[in-house]
C-alpha cells in the first residue's frame, strides 16, 4: 500500500496538476492585489509559482520550464481558431511519443552521430559484439552500428509506441539482418547475453538500472550511460565528446 502511494506521488503528471492547481488558487488572490489588467503576466506568474512549488517535489528539474509556460500555452491554444480535431490529435501523438515520460520519468532523448561514432570505437576490440540499446527511440543508434560493424548483433528495446513503430519500420526498410527491435520494457530484458549495454534515459532510473546491470551482465562486458551518472557508483571511465551537447559517456566495466 505504501509503495503504491509513493508511486502516485512521484508521478510527474499528478505533481504538475497539483502544483498548477495550488498556483491557480494563489494567483486568484494575488493577481487582483497586483492590479494586473493584462491576463498574460498573470498566467506567467501562475506558471512560475507552479514551477517553484515543483522544486519541493520529486519532479525532475527539466519539467520546470514546461510548468512556467503551461498556463499561458493552454489559454493561447484555446484562443486559436483551429479545427476541433487538432488538439485531441496532438495530445494523442504526444502521448504516443512521450509515453515513458509520465510513468517512468524518461523523456525521449536521441543520441547523435558523434555518440554513435564513440560507441563504435568502444566496440573496436570486440569482434562479433552483441549490443543492446535500452530505450532505443527511433532506432538510429542500432542502425548506425549495424552498418559499421556488420559482424555484430544489435538489439533495441522501446515501449513508447510511436518511436517503436518508427524504429521497426526503419529496420525493415534498411534490409539489415543484424538488427532486432523489440517492443519490450528494459526491466524485463535479460542483459546477460550482451557485451555492451547502452542507455540514454534520465537520472530517475539510473540507480536501479545499474543494479540490474551489475547483477546480470557477464564479466568483460560494459555498461554505458549517456549523460547520466549513477549516485554512489563512479564510472570506470568518462568519455567527453566534442559535440553541441558536450556529451559525457559514463562507462562501467564488469
> What CA–CA distance (Å, rounded) separates 100 from 107?
6
* CATH number where 193 lies: 3.40.50.150
Helices (H) and strands (E) in the chain, counts: 10, 7
In a domain, 95, yes or no: no
pLDDT 10s digits, 77-113:
767 776 766 556 666 555 555 555 555 555 667 789 9
Q: The C-alpha cell of 177 is what?
A: 539482418
Q: What is the mean pLDDT of residues 167-172?
A: 91
Rounded to the nearest 5 degrees, what angle is found at the Cα of 144, between the Cα atoms of 227 and 158? Answer: 60
In a domain, 17, yes or no: yes
Write out the residue range of the structural domain in which residue 141 sits.
Answer: 113-253
What's the structural domain count of the chain?
Answer: 2
Check residue 127 and give its pLDDT: 83
Q: How far apart are the first and last CA of the chain?
A: 36
pTM given for the model: 0.67
Q: Please indicate, yes or no, whether residues 117 and 236 belong to a single structural domain of this protein.
A: yes
Q: Please indicate, yes or no, whether residues 39 and 128 belong to a single structural domain of this protein.
A: no
In this structure, the strands spanning 248-253 and 130-134 are unpaired
Q: Point out the domain boundary residue: 81, 102, 137.
A: 81
Q: Please indicate, yes or no, whether residues 52 and 139 belong to a single structural domain of this protein.
A: no
Secondary structure E strands in 166-247: 179-183, 196-199, 222-226, 237-240
pLDDT 10s digits, 175-230:
899 999 999 989 999 999 999 999 998 888 899 999 999 999 999 999 999 999 99
In a domain, 19, yes or no: yes
Q: The C-alpha cell of 218 is what?
A: 557477464
Amino acid at each position: 500500500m505504501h509503495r503504491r502511494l509513493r508511486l502516485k506521488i512521484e508521478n510527474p503528471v499528478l505533481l504538475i496538476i497539483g502544483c498548477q492547481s495550488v498556483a491557480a488558487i494563489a494567483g486568484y488572490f494575488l493577481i487582483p492585489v497586483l492590479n494586473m489588467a493584462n491576463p498574460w503576466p498573470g498566467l506567467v506568474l501562475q506558471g512560475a509559482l507552479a514551477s517553484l512549488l515543483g522544486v519541493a517535489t520529486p519532479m525532475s528539474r527539466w519539467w520546470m520550464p514546461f510548468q512556467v509556460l503551461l498556463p499561458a500555452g493552454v489559454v493561447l491554444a484555446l484562443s486559436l481558431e483551429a479545427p476541433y480535431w487538432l488538439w485531441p490529435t496532438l495530445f494523442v501523438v504526444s502521448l504516443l511519443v512521450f509515453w515513458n515520460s509520465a510513468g517512468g520519468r524518461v523523456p525521449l532523448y536521441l543520441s547523435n552521430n558523434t555518440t554513435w561514432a564513440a560507441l563504435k570505437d568502444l566496440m573496436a576490440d570486440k569482434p562479433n559484439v552483441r549490443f543492446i540499446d535500452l530505450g532505443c527511440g527511433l532506432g538510429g543508434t542500432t542502425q548506425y552500428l549495424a552498418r559499421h560493424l556488420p559482424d555484430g548483433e544489435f538489439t533495441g528495446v522501446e515501449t513508447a509506441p510511436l518511436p517503436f513503430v518508427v524504429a521497426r519500420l526503419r529496420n525493415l526498410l534498411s534490409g539489415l539482418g543484424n538488427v532486432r527491435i523489440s517492443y519490450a520494457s528494459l526491466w524485463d530484458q535479460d542483459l546477460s547475453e550482451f557485451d555492451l549495454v547502452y542507455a540514454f534515459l534520465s537520472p530517475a532510473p539510473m540507480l536501479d538500472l545499474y543494479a540490474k546491470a551489475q547483477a546480470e551482465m557477464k564479466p568483460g562486458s560494459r555498461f554505458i550511460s549517456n549523460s547520466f551518472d549513477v549516485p554512489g557508483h563512479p564510472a570506470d571511465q568518462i568519455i567527453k565528446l566534442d559535440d553541441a551537447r558536450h556529451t559525457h559517456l559514463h562507462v562501467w566495466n564488469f
